[in-house]
Amino acid sequence: MPTVKSLHRFCAVLLVTSMAVLAEDAPKPVTLPATAAEAAPKKPSLPDDPAAAWKALNKATQPPQPPAEWNQKAPTPEESAAFRRTMADAAAAAADLAKEFQDRFASDAHAADAKRMQAELLQAVASLRGDSAGQALLAAPKDAFQQKIQAAVEAAKQKQAEGMPAVFAEFERQLRLLQKEYPDRPEISGGLLEAAQGIGGDRGLAIVKEVRETATKEELKKYAAQVEKQIMGEKMKLDRVGKPLDVKFKSVDGRDVDLAALKGKVVLVDFWATWCGPCVGELPHVKEAYAKLHGQGFEIVGISFDQDKDALETFIKKQAMPWPQYFDGEGWQNKFGQEFGIMAIPAMWLVDKQGNLRELEARDQLESKIEKLLAEK
């Protein structure tokens, strides 16, 4: 049986994400660029070692995950469209790397795989961006199994009025029924892992454990390990609320930053990157809050997921962002991103005057949340 491919990874996230929005919330159709390079910001090239390059390419095919808060609160049309764009950008960037792998390592045993991967990723970009040909991949399943998978998604969407936990629970139930009919299809295990991410907590971990122990494909086992890490990361983040947040570093402009030294201030810890469209889209709101509330004791600490320091510094200067920025050039392997379980950006956390983490989802009504913490004694 086929393994879970890059197209499945991105489209599975798209399918699960689609449960949270109505059809009319989908982004307007656009024309797919001729090359992935035109669709996404330029990323650093792959490592020179073929084995390391192949590992990096496979890592790049892992899509960003929907924000955890969507489990309890359906996203707005704007948030849904922004997340789809984020996924499309990630798929396009990965396709660009797949093309680079083919060009630079043409004699490598994985070159043909990279070529197929590029085609799959470009199809995912088409689907995520609303391209008519790409949408057909989801709208017109080619066989009975795919039709039933789509029917499972539709059945789950009917639970929207009961909240996202009910949606994901129904999706799992539908997959269990399919599992009896198609016990050997790896797509079902992949779908269960997607449901596990939406369900989260102990139940989500139990699903992951089941898939990990029963999967025969190594790639599914690796995927299960990644999902487990994500769910554990969410649990860890929730456990941090109400406790001091240890963030200490030297910023790109040389300033020493220590949250412990900012007691008495309300601090926004902004996990972001210059290549992240939704992050850049949030910047005007962040700057407005800073201009309005900085004089009352509001500070911002940026945690950049960029890999190009010059690009980051140029962006900061152009956008007149006065707050300090952490940078280590590791992208998604960013020190604080790894420590705090950041799986998707933008992520905005608020720390109160006592230095305790109080808010994990500060994007919505940012100013009012800051003002509420500033008003505390």
> Which tens digits make up the pLDDT trace of 274-292?
988 888 888 999 999 999 9
Distance CA 80, CA 226 (A): 23
- Give the list of residues 6+ apart from residue 198 with CB closer than 8 angstroms, or none: 16, 66, 71, 164, 167, 168, 171, 204
**The predicted structure's pLDDT at residue 316:** 94
Q: For residue 326, is it within any domain?
A: yes
The 10s digit of each residue's pLDDT in 44-64 is 478 888 888 888 887 787 777
Residue 130 has pLDDT above 50, yes or no: yes
Q: For residue 243, is it within any domain?
A: no
Number of domains making up the chain: 2
Q: How far apart are the first and last CA of the chain?
A: 61
Distance CA 152, CA 42 (A): 37
Q: For residue 254, is it within any domain?
A: yes
Distance CA 115, CA 123 (A): 13
The 10s digit of each residue's pLDDT in 136-145 is 444 444 578 8
The reply to whether 72 and 200 lie within a common domain is: yes
Q: For residue 314, is it within any domain?
A: yes
Which strand (E) or helix (H) includes residue 326?
strand 325-326
Q: Are strands 266-272 and 347-351 parallel, antiparallel or unpaired?
A: antiparallel
350: three-class secondary structure by DSSP = strand
Q: For residue 180, is it within any domain?
A: yes
The reply to whether 13 and 51 lie within a common domain is: yes
Q: What is the percent of the chain with per-residue pLDDT over 90, rounded to a whole number?
A: 31
Residue 126 has pLDDT above 80, yes or no: no
Across 107-129, average pLDDT: 77
The reply to whether 277 and 228 lie within a common domain is: no
**The predicted structure's pLDDT at residue 194:** 83
Q: Which of 139, 30, 137 is nearest to 84 (CA)?
A: 30
Across 237-245, average pLDDT: 84
Q: What is the percent of the chain with per-residue pLDDT over 70, rounded to a whole number?
A: 80
Looking at residue 5, its amino acid is: K
Residue 360 has pLDDT above 50, yes or no: yes
Q: For residue 167, is it within any domain?
A: yes
- Is residue 317 classed exposed, middle or buried when 0-12, 13-18 and 19+ CB atoms within 10 A define those classes? exposed
The reply to whether 155 and 294 lie within a common domain is: no
Residue 262 has pLDDT above 90, yes or no: yes
The C-alpha angle with vertex 201 and arms to 200 and 203, in degrees rounded to 5, equals 85
The reply to whether 206 and 59 lie within a common domain is: yes
Q: Which of 150, 158, 33 is nearest to 99 (CA)?
A: 33
Looking at residue 142, its amino acid is: K
Q: Which of 152, 148, 120 is nearest to 134 (CA)?
A: 120
Distance CA 231, CA 266 (A): 28
Structure-token match 């905005």, residue found = 348
Contact by Cβ (8 Å): 357, 349: yes
Query: Of the candidates 236, 260, 275, which is a domain's last residue?
Result: 236
**The predicted structure's pLDDT at residue 78:** 73
The reply to whether 64 and 194 lie within a common domain is: yes
Residue 253 has pLDDT above 50, yes or no: yes
User: Greater confidence, 253 or 147?
Assistant: 253
Residue 225 has pLDDT above 70, yes or no: yes
The 10s digit of each residue's pLDDT in 146-194 is 788 878 888 888 887 787 788 889 999 999 999 999 988 888 888 888 8
**The predicted structure's pLDDT at residue 43:** 46
Mean pLDDT of all residues in the chain?
79
**The predicted structure's pLDDT at residue 127:** 62
Residue numbers of the domain that contains 277:
248-374
User: Greater confidence, 231 or 322?
Assistant: 322
Query: Of the candidates 236, 270, 303, which is a domain's last residue?
Result: 236
pLDDT band for position 294 (cuts 50, 70, 90): very high
User: Greater confidence, 300 or 33?
Assistant: 300
**The predicted structure's pLDDT at residue 113:** 79
**The predicted structure's pLDDT at residue 33:** 33
**The predicted structure's pLDDT at residue 195:** 87
**The predicted structure's pLDDT at residue 317:** 94
Lowest mean pLDDT among 12-26, 108-122, 314-328, 359-373: 12-26
The reply to whether 232 and 275 lie within a common domain is: no
The reply to whether 89 and 56 lie within a common domain is: yes
The reply to whether 215 and 259 lie within a common domain is: no
Query: Of the candidates 194, 212, 236, which is a domain's last residue?
Result: 236
Lowest mean pLDDT among 102-106, 228-232, 272-276, 289-293: 228-232
**The predicted structure's pLDDT at residue 138:** 45
The reply to whether 288 and 252 lie within a common domain is: yes
**The predicted structure's pLDDT at residue 71:** 54
Across 77-86, average pLDDT: 75
The reply to whether 129 and 231 lie within a common domain is: yes
The reply to whether 106 and 227 lie within a common domain is: yes
Residue 301 has pLDDT above 90, yes or no: yes
Check: pTM over 0.75? Answer yes or no. Answer: no
User: Greater confidence, 254 or 157?
Assistant: 254
